[in-house]
Structures are given as C-alpha cells and as structure tokens.
Structure 1
C-alpha cells in the first residue's frame, strides 16, 4: 500500500469525525420535517444552505442520506441511522454543558425527555415526577406518550428522541441492542368483566394491540376459552371503558386497572397467569447523567 492510498484511507476514517454540530442539527431537521425547505424554515436558513450542508455531510459520511423528490426528502436506511446518531450526539453535547454548569452546585438544569406508554403516564410517572422536581427543581420533564407497539418507547430512545423510555421489557422482552435498562415492576394480567356477570368467560373479547413477552403470547395461545376480539381499540383506556359499559370482557395488566370503576370486576387468572415487565431504557451515554439517574431513583422509590 503506497503513501497516497494510506493517506486516503486515513482521511476517510476521520472525515465523519469532522462533522460539526450545526451539520448534525441540519441533518436532524431534514429528517424530522422530511424536506429541505421545511428544515430551512425551522432553522432560519436558506434552502440552498441546507442542501449544501446535507451534500457535505453525505460526502463526509460516504453514503446517500436522503432520496430527493417532489414530495420532499425521504431518509435512506443510512440516513435514518445517521439522524438517530446525530440526535444522540447533540443531546450528549447539551448534557455536557448542563452537567458542567451544575457540577459545583451538585444539581442540573434543563429538559429531561421521557417517552412512556399511556398507563405509565397516567399511574406511575406523576408521583415520580413530583418527587423528581421537588429534589431537582431545575429539571424540566418533557413527557411524550407513545403507543407501546413495535419499536414503542424504546424506539424513541434509540432514535434520540427521548432520554429515557418506560417500556415493556424483561426476560422474554429483552432491552433492545444498543440500549441499557432494567425492570421496575412486574404486573400480573387479570380477567376484567362487568361486575356481577354470571359467566364472564362467555363474553366477547375487547382488546388492543400492545407489545408483550413471549410467555404472554404462549399463555394466550393455550387458552381455548379466549375468542377472537370483536372490539379492537387504540389503547387500554378505551378497553376499560367498553368493559365497564357491559360490552365484553378483557385481559389487562394491573397498571391499566388503577382506579378502575365499580362497574367492573377483576378476577385472578391463577398461578400461571401472564405478567408484564415494565422497566426503563436509556442510552449508555446518558445513563450516568444526573437527570436520568435521578428519574430512575424516583421511579424505583414510587414502586417500592
């Protein structure tokens, strides 16, 4: 290998490291808004400046990041991955500043982005956030409620849109690759039906789509008495409302049944009942930050 080839390969290895924060912000803006014009407007730049920056980033990365077309800019697989990393790098830079400024005071100021699914946002987060902000008044929680389906809340963290996700994880639903986390609580599923019904298992099933572990899926498949759902809703709150009004029965986790009305009855499913593991996920680079550690501590405290 001659000197020119060696120098060329070295340059290729370091080019991506030369990306500046403003280039990452432009990359994220184009990905978020799916267009150069919209990104330019959001950033207060000209469209040509955004286009020039993206071309430069593509040259440094060595991959096409967006497909250009009349409908805007669609991220390629490389573009989606680059945008996710860019969000996380930018967030880490923000954290660096916040942690450095707060080092002498032993606290930190700034936003803490949390992704949570509905029942957690209703019944677990409020108490934890109350404790968090009392101890760290400079932290500003920003909660995004996300359906726990597919990538769910963990996907928000992986893509750099959230610092912490409250997700369904556990032995049969492992923490996604590239993230770290732990289980906060195990909640059992129960049969939920109109109060006083003589044969609740004969009722039609009201259900909703959500992520669940392999044991839950296997258990469900072994239950000959569970019919196909005749009512399929967007979330567990709608399921509970349908059941409480006499439109069927459901199988729901305990957190979703917090504050359930008197018009429903909750029946235990026995010792082999399925459970749902609820835990937190975050990125390795943010796991040691003051805000993330403080939130995890308060989440554990409210479930103790």
Structure 2
C-alpha cells in the first residue's frame, strides 16, 4: 500500500483533472500522457485511502471524498504560494504576488476600487484578482471556504453564523432606501422591481410589516439593472445605499422610514489567510476607505 502525504505536484494534478473534467484534458494541460495522469491519481488515492474521481465515458467527476480533497488541495497549494511570495517579499522589503478577492457586484463596483487603489499604490508588485460572485447560496463566503479566494467581501445577517474556521470583520452597515421615478406623485403605489441577489431574507421582519409593499412584479439580473428599470419609469425599488453611489437622471431616492432595514457588509477569510500580508493590507485599505467616506472624502 502506498503511504505518505500527496506532494504539491500531485495536488496540482488533482486540480487539473477537476478543471479539465477528464484525465485526458489534465494530461494535455500538464504535458503528460493520459496513462501518467491516471497512474498519478491512483497513487494519490492510495495515499489518501479513498476514491477521488468517478471514471466514465463522460470523463472524471469528483466523488464526495474527492470534493473534500480538492478543497484542501487548493488551500495547501495556496499556502505554498503565499509562503514563497511573502518570504521573498520580506527579503526584498516588498509585498508581491496575487491576492484573490471574491466580492458581490455592488461591492466590486463601488467599494473595492478605491481600496485597491490605496492598496496597490503602496504595494505596486501586489496583483489583486477580483472575482464577482452573486450573493446567492454560498456566495462569496463559499469561495473562501473552497480555497478559490483569499478574502471575500460578503453580506452577513445579524443572526448568521459564518462557517467554522472563518474570521469575520465588519466593514459597514448601510440602509435600504426607496427608489422611484422622479416626479411620481404616489411612488409607493408603483409596481415593485426586485432582483435575485437582494437581501430580503436579512430584512424579513421589516418587510413583513409593510402593508404597502406589494410582491415583486418584475425581477432583474442585478441591482444595476433594477436602477435602470426605475429610471425608465417601470416601477419602484428598495435598494441598499451602496447600489446608489451613482444615481441616474430621472430617479429619486428617499428614506423608507425612521428605522429602515439595513445590510451588513463584512470581510471574511480563513485563519491562515488572515496571516497573509496582502489580506491584512487589503483589510486596512478597506477600513481606511470607509473612514474617508464617512468623513465625506473621496472614496
């Protein structure tokens, strides 16, 4: 029986099989033969003690054991990359290498750019890589859990518990606002436009108390499309403040009431990721950006 822990090359090979969906595609990516990839996967499976891929005519699909192994492989290989980059950076007095960030659309559009400008101005050799991930299902948090991102900007309800092993830091709380076509005499009678990513679950208590609020009669792909539809006079919407950084002509925004629902934005990372210089500096840049915004300065 083969013993020992899979080495980094073997872990990278598993990820190549996942990306390609077959041993043949992984072989082409890595410049190996299909038989060499097959043999390597069998070796790793013996080391781990579980079948990692189902083989078939459709290719190779990860088993439940394989899914877990792939998650750990991503985290382990990422720590190898961070180790090399940060050790070399410490020797040279710089911070370099990729920084993988997952964010939902409005955060990526309105919150991250100013923070990334602060970050890269002081660390020109750092390379942020931003993935826009809808806040549906596991959302941006899932990207960190699965090892696809070093840090996530996420929405998190007050009563929500993050996955074990994740560290959470609050960035801001923003109110929801009423958005409607300018000049409409009775905006609360208009049809409601919503979008799938809207955090209505976080505000369900407030939502349920609003007798005037009808079920959504129209839905859109994201908050930016919702705002455009309102500008065209198609209805009203309830949007978080961050989505209203730029308000198009023909749109009026006003408070909902004295105690509007709010959306809580946080950053999430693993305990290992929190030790990364790049992650720590991004968190510092995000907080500095929010501090400047609260003082009315340019983001």
Normalising by structure 1, we get a TM-score of: 0.91
In 2: Cα distance, 1:173 partner to 1:106 partner: 40
In 2: Cα distance, 1:263 partner to 1:193 partner: 9
Q: Residue in 2 aligned with 1:156?
A: 143
Q: How many residues align?
A: 291
Alignment of 1:1-304 (within 5 A): 15=3, 18-210=5-197, 212=199, 214-304=201-291
Change in Cα spacing, 1:77 to 1:218, as seen in structure 2 (3 Å) is farther
Q: Residue in 2 aligned with 1:6?
A: none
Give the drift of 1:32.
2.3
Checking the alignment, whether the CA contact within 8 Å between 1:27 and 1:54 is kept in structure 2 is yes
User: 3-state DSSP class of the match of 1:98?
Assistant: helix
User: 3-state DSSP class of the match of 1:165?
Assistant: strand
Checking the alignment, whether the CA contact within 8 Å between 2:202 and 2:263 is kept in structure 1 is no
In 2: Cα distance, 1:74 partner to 1:119 partner: 34
In 2: Cα distance, 1:84 partner to 1:32 partner: 13
Q: Residue in 2 aligned with 1:3?
A: none
Which consecutive segments of 4 or more residues in structure 1 shift more than 6 A? none
In 1: Cα distance, 2:103 partner to 2:229 partner: 23
Which consecutive residues of structure 1, in runs of 5 or more, have no partner in the other structure?
1-10
In 2: Cα distance, 1:301 partner to 1:103 partner: 24
CA RMSD of aligned residues (A): 1.7
**Range 223-232 or range 113-122, more displaced:** 223-232
Which consecutive residues of structure 2, in runs of 5 or more, have no partner in the other structure?
292-299
In 2: Cα distance, 1:264 partner to 1:65 partner: 54
Checking the alignment, whether the CA contact within 8 Å between 2:102 and 2:152 is kept in structure 1 is yes
User: 3-state DSSP class of the match of 1:18?
Assistant: coil
In 1: Cα distance, 2:238 partner to 2:177 partner: 5
User: 1:15-55, CA deviations, whole angstroms, 9 ceiling, x for partnerless residues?
Assistant: 4x511001110111112222222222222222112211211
Checking the alignment, whether the CA contact within 8 Å between 2:157 and 2:202 is kept in structure 1 is no
